[in-house]
Amino acid sequence: MKDFELTKKMLNMGGVFYPTGYAVIMFPDAADVRKVASELEAGNDGVMLLSPETILKEISPADGHSDVHLPSVGTEGATVHKFGDLAREGHYGLMIPVHSGEDTERVMAVVRTVPFSYAQRYHSLAMEDLE
């Protein structure tokens, strides 16, 4: 599993976290996130672990407002706030490259074997809630 590293490609033009081509999935239990990651790594070398600390340090500030906790324009800002709220509760995340609906379904089949709290897929021009 790779260590998460925020790059400019993971931000939209407004500087908000928007990693096109990835699914970001949050889990309430660290053991579950590691189980899912190990199963997904077999066919995907781009899986990245997001610890609560990493989310709060790297992703939460990339909401276009930094420490200001006001509503932002667009779904992406609200989603970043949701990731931050879950991280403050101790949730971990996985960031997984997905390039098609088939990739997404293969990932979610593994994810659904454990409790997860939130999941988003980032398309070029839209975000998709995953269940």
Per-residue 3-state assignment (H helix, E strand, C coil) for 7-61: CHHHECCCCCECCCCEEEEEECCHHHHHHHHHHHHCCCCCCEEECHHHHHHHHCC
pTM of this prediction? 0.86
Least confident of 32-41, 95-104, 118-127: 118-127
pLDDT over 90 at 72, yes or no = no
> What pLDDT sits at residue 62?
62
Which two structure tokens, joined as six digits, stand for 49?
A: 């672990």
Q: Which amino acid, 75?
A: T
Q: Confidence class of residue 35 from pLDDT cuts 50, 70 and 90?
A: very high
What average pLDDT does range 82-88 have in this prediction? Answer: 95
